[in-house]
Every structure is written in structure tokens, then in C-alpha cells.
Structure 1
Amino acid sequence: MLRTIFFTLAIFVSTFSFAQTEQKVSDEQLKQFANAYQIVQQESMKVQQEMMGVIQEAGLQPQRFNEMYQAENNPNKTVEATDEEKKMFEKAMGKIESMQASIQAKMEEKVKSSGMDMKTYESIMNKMRTSPELQKRIQTLMMSQGQGK
């Protein structure tokens, strides 16, 4: 199964700079973040389905696309592909890249609609990546709200 969430989120995350701050995250901010995070995850799943459609429309199977994508982005990995597969891959990549601005705008709107500004969301996301304590707080909060995994 194609796992393009990493790709979608990489697009979303790569367009922002995350400023590291030592400021504590309040419980209220954490609640807003948890809500925004869940909304972004739901949107990511929709985007994943759209991307799978684009890939299949181009004539490739999602698994084959992933193999080619990984080889293109990793100099230590190679994959043999026919000229036809290369054309299909380029067609799919072109459409996915053209979707990037729209995806970013949707994600930003979802965050804002949850009542959180992008700067705060980005800051908490960055802190969450490096703080096991914050990860645990978010996980506990999401589970207590019935949003956890």
C-alpha cells in the first residue's frame, strides 16, 4: 500500500521554518494543537488518496511509483525502469508537484480553522519532534479526548 503521508507532510513541513524556542506549551495551546494535528492528519489521508489516484491515472502501481521515487531521491538506491515507466513516473510527479501549493494552502487553512495560528502550530510541532515529554502530553490529551490511536 502506498504510504504518501510522509511525502505530503514533507511537502507541508518543508515549506515552513521551525523556530526553536524554550517557551513552555500551555495546556490550552496543547489542546488546540491536538485538535489541529488531528485535522491535518485527516486532510493528509485525503491527499494520500488523491495522490494514489494521480499515480494510477498515470499508469503506475503505487508500489512501483514508491520504488522509483525512493531511487530518485536516494543516490545509494537504484531501480531499473523502462522508458514507458519513466514517462509515467514523470507524468505522476508533475501532477503531484503541481498539487503542492494547493495542499499547503489546505493544510494552513485547516490549522487556522482549528483556532491556532501557523507560527504556534509549527513551534509545537517542532518541539514535539524533540521532546518525549511533550509527545507523551499530546498523546495523553488525544487519548483522553477520544482522538488517540
Structure 2
Amino acid sequence: MKLFKKPFTLILALLFVATAAYSQDKVSDTELTKFANAYTDIQLVNEKAQKEMTTVIEKSGMEIATFNALYQAAQNPNAPAPAEVSEQDTKKFEATVVEIEKLQPKFQKEMEDAVIKNDITIERYQQVVAQLQTDPELQQKLQEKLQ
């Protein structure tokens, strides 16, 4: 279910990348294992979050496709508004976004707990994320650990 990949990716980005301290400290094999375990646990939180967001949207009476179209339009103010969206849908969308935003602190806490439970600090997790963005060898090692 990739309905919320972009919204939840935004949450992840805010939590783990936007404030990342860009450190070039070498990542040990043990540390990468801890990171991989935390990453896997975060993926589980992500799946849970997607299910809960889907439930919120469905309870609002909106179609998932309509919500996603409005969300994408909201992300790009220069994009034209979806043609088949009513004013009622727009109001439902705004109320639904508020409800989804209320869930974000809970999921952020669960992600932080997932990192800490795997014996790695939030700061170090962020540093490894930053290194992964520019280090293909480290990316390969992580892929191997995730398989």
C-alpha cells in the first residue's frame, strides 16, 4: 500500500534527515547492524502509520484517491487543483489532514523508541543516514544486512 509514501516520507525526513549532523565518522559493522535493526523497526512503524492514516481517511468519508490528489496538489501550490473535487471534499480533506497531523507525534515517538531500543542514539542514526546518502559502499553493506 503506497498511498501515503510521500506524506510519511515527509515525516521520516523531518525526524531523521532534516536535523542530521553530517558526520564523516566511520560506521562500524556492529553499528551498521544496529542501524539496520532500527531501520527495520521504523519500517514497521511506517506500515502501522499508513494503516492508521487510511482508517482516518476512510472514516472521513473521503475516497483515498481524492485525498491523495488533494494532498499532491497541496504539496505543489503551482499545480492545478484536481478537477473533480468538490468544496465538500476540500473541507473533508482539511479536517482529515488535521486528524492525521495529530497522529504524527505518536509515530515520531515510536520511531525514536525504535532507534533507541536498538542501542543507537538518534543523533548517530541521523549521522548514518547522512553518510548513506553519499557512500555507495555503505549503502551496499546496509542492503546486505537488510536481506
Normalised by the size of structure 2, how large is the TM-score? 0.90
* Pairing 1:1-149 to 2, within 5 Å after superposition: 1-15=1-15, 16-78=18-80, 79-80=82-83, 81-143=85-147
> Structure 1 vs Structure 2: percent identity of aligned residues?
32
Query: What SS does structure 1 have at the residue aligned with 2:127?
Result: helix
Alignment deviations for residues 83-108 of structure 1 (CA, whole Å, 9 cap, x no partner): 11011101110101111111111110
What is the distance in 2 between the residues matched to 1:90 and 1:62? 14
CA contact (8 A) 2:20 2:130 kept: yes
User: Runs of 5+ in structure 1 lacking a partner?
Assistant: 144-149
Q: Deviations over 1:20-54 (max 9, x none)?
A: 11111110110000000000001100100000010
- Divergent runs of 4+, >3 A: none
Which stretches in structure 2 are left out of the alignment for 5+ residues? none
Return the letter of the residue paired with 2:145: L
Q: TM-score, normalised by structure 1?
A: 0.89
Aligned residues: 143
The CA distance in 2 between the partners of 1:115 and 1:9, in whole Å, is 23
- Across the aligned residues of Structure 1 and Structure 2, the Cα RMSD in angstroms comes to 1.5
Greater relative contact order (Cα < 8 A, sep 6+): 2
